[in-house]
Amino acid sequence: MYTAYLDHASATPVRKEVLEVMLPYFNEHFANPSNVYDLGSKVKEAIEEARANVAGFINAKPAEVVFTSSGAEANNFAIKGVAFAKQKKGNHIIVSSIEHHSVLNSARFLERLDFEATFLPVDQNGLVDPERLASAIRPETVIASIMHANTEIGTIEPISELAAICKEKDVVFHTDAVASVGNTRVDVNALNVDLLSLSGASLGAPKGIGALYFNKKVRLMPLIHGGIQENGRRAGTENVPGIIGFGRAAALAQKELPAKIDHVRKLRDRLVQGIHKKVEKVTYTGHPDKRLPGHASFCFEAIEGEALIFMLVQNGIYTNTGSACASKALKTSPVLGAIGLRADLAQGSTVFTIDAGNTEAEIDHVLEKLPAVVDRLRALSPIWGKEIPEYEEKVCT
């Protein structure tokens, strides 16, 4: 069967070049990087080279990068680390309502420890209003966290503008850039952020490795205590193969990013135009222009997203519905609810995420098979044909 894999936001294969540089660090260069003798020192040097590659990819300094187990851990580290370190200043944090669960649940965890959290609304395109952020900041606000790009609807937020507001009011600003690093240009200085989370898996590195960029002026309370690894910021023997792979993936991505952006944008536009032409009653979610170049997300009226995914798989097409961390929950997506989509339409969510290895033939395969699958599911739907508005009357209050 012909296969079109278009779910790179949830998982993407480890690149051959990345795997090759990782393999020796499982059995040949196996020493602990904390050891003082030469075997350990050589591994430590390789880690620092990888750190420099990761830092260079986002225009940071190597000393400003801490390796973590994932983007989710980096988000936890940023939000809890700042909140705990700045308790003398205040106990208020701000996050957007469409953040990844690792941000939302960190905020909810801190609420149980007598912190206060404000969850900023977004508009129908998923954008945070800078004026709303400014009005939400209080004297006791210690950190604001707004994601760079949303993995479910693809919208890219005005991060530099939001960060500038926080800088003026002495509030630390963090952005979750897991969805954007490797898929669009990310420069920590241009974005003006204090903290930024990223993941190796987004670049063709293995799962289980991430990083947190931090401005050295920011105080962070470590979440994992033990040894002096990562300059005392994160204890535990390093995931050496993962770090080496992350570094190699970052170096490759830096060279290839301009060509990749151009390639995936063309494929995305081909997919979007084709679906709008061949399928009726479909809502394109997220901002039409300010979005990730390889991201296309839709809600198909009168269809259950899970059913659509399973039927597409039978045609060799792999995509997703909602966030990879929530797609098995069988609940209405909080992100789609936040942008004002009514619940039954949100249930028909389908997300296509395109990578450099995808082809026009794969997009055309989707456009050939998708309409018939949609028609078949709608024929079984008890609500197909009813006239219902796409958005609730009152959106994002």
Contact 58, 198 (CB under 8 A): yes
Q: Could you tell me which residues come within 8 angstroms of residue 352 by beta carbon, excluding any fewer than 6 positions away?
A: 6, 7, 268, 271, 295, 296, 297, 298, 319, 366
Residue tagged 């798989």 (tokens)? 313
By annotation, the residues acting in catalysis are 325
Q: How far apart are CA 322 and CA 341, in angstroms?
A: 13
Q: How far apart are CA 166 and CA 338, in angstroms?
A: 23
Question: Identity (one letter) of the amino acid at 312?
Answer: L
How wide is the angle at C-alpha 78 spanned by C-alphas 76 and 80, nearest 5°? 60
Q: How far apart are CA 130 and CA 122, in angstroms?
A: 10
Number of helices (H), then strands (E), belonging to the chain: the values are 13, 12
Q: How far apart are CA 350 and CA 273, in angstroms?
A: 16
